[in-house]
Amino acid sequence: MLKKDLAMADENIMIDWEYSGKPDALMGNGATRWERVLVYMASFLGMALFTISYLNQTWDWEWWAYLIAGVIAADIFGGVVANALNTCKRFYHAPLKENETGLTRRLKNPYFFSFLHVYPLLVALFYPPGNWMYGILWYAALLISTVTLLRVPLYLQRPTAFLIISLAITANYYAIEPVSGFEWLVPMLFIKIIYGHLVREEPYRPK
């Protein structure tokens, strides 16, 4: 019975590693309308969080600090969802194509992609109490975690990713005090990069 149910569930989807057209490094080539809607909703949620906080003056920040925080949140909230899209899994884990040059080629390098996510350093720079150790430790942890995960055999990468994320969440609560207003940053950043971006999974496509 279970085998029959699984077959019925799979009859309208297929695993497909092929894509074509102009490279889409944001959501991957061929994202459906609903896939895009989910990403935009998540990004909007991140920006809305700090828009509401600004209106309520939740933290003693200048207006530009709320704006920067909103942009960071929009990218990370949206990125958590975008990196889980089948189109992103297909785009970033498929071999390079001839038309993927310049920045696109660099973005498909997982080490470079992780290197770009300097958000812990930005938070340490712009937000009180200006704790550089916070920024340096978490940025280094992200890069070390990237290198570690990519050296693990493929069949162990997903559970290893969740182990790393669990350790990051625990340390964020009990070892390295988060910057006020950014308690969410480390957990979501590690979910976005360590699991969402780095772990290769089968990309499904509706038939």
pLDDT in tens, 47-65: 999 999 999 999 999 999 9
Strands 204-206 and 13-15: antiparallel
d(CA 102, CA 105): 5
Q: Which residues contact 139 (CB under 8 A, 6 or more apart)?
A: 118, 120, 121
pLDDT at 9: 54
**What integer best gives the mean pLDDT of the chain?**
92
Higher model confidence: residue 187 or residue 204?
A: 187
Confidence of residue 1 (pLDDT cuts 50, 70, 90): very low
Model's pTM, two decimal places? 0.91
What's the rounded mean pLDDT across residues 182-201? 97
- Asked, as a colleague might, if the bond just before 129 is cis with ω within 30 of 0, I would say yes
Tell me the per-residue pLDDT of 77-133, one tens digit each, with 9 for 90 and over: 999 999 999 999 999 999 999 888 999 999 999 999 999 999 999 999 999 887 899
Cα 99 from Cα 197, distance rounded (Å): 21
pLDDT of residue 207: 75
